[in-house]
Amino acid sequence: MPSFDIVSEVNKVELKNAVDQANKEIANRFDFKGSDARVEQAELVLTLYADDEEIIGENVAAAVSYAGAMLAIAIIVGHAAEGEFEGWGPSLRAYFVALASSLALYPTRQLVVQTLMLRQPFSLRGGALDRLIAQDRNVGASAVEAVSYVAAALLLTGVA
């Protein structure tokens, strides 16, 4: 009987590029200006720092969720930008396809986290997951959401 092994390896260069892109995005955001919000990488371990007074005083769960979304977008954009320049047409097409694929992150979040993990009915807005993060400020739920964003980005780019 035939068998096969599935091996998943993380491309360390891709991961570093994604972390760098996420940090650039955080640095350019108006609501994070002057804060110490950042993503740090130690080998394959990522640490999210957002000890800005506004985030600590407000909703850390939303900040964790947001950081996961930004990291996922950075992975997708970084993947689109890699490789040799083949001309403006093909490069812009590839970049547009990558950005359009990032639109799949939000429905994936709702389907995977809310429906499969929380066992709640599917809804795009105002569901149980939104309440857990916005009202209950559940950092655990937002961490799971952030991981689902990053996992979806890795699957979309073929890195994982």
Spatial distance between the Cα atoms of 132 and 35, rounded to a whole number of angstroms: 25
Work out the average pLDDT over 9-23: 81
Work out the average pLDDT over 90-119: 79
Spatial distance between the Cα atoms of 141 and 60, rounded to a whole number of angstroms: 11
pTM: 0.57
Work out the average pLDDT over 42-57: 63
Buried b (16+ CB within 10 A) or exposed e, 40-67: ebeeeebebebebeebeeebbbbbbbbb
Burial class (CB in 10 A: 0-12, 13-18, 19+), 1: exposed
pLDDT category at 108 given cuts 50, 70, 90 is confident
Q: Do 85 and 91 contact (CB within 8 A), yes or no?
A: yes
Work out the average pLDDT over 75-98: 78
pLDDT digits (tens, 9 = 90+) for 51-61: 554 455 677 88
Q: Do 110 and 124 contact (CB within 8 A), yes or no?
A: yes
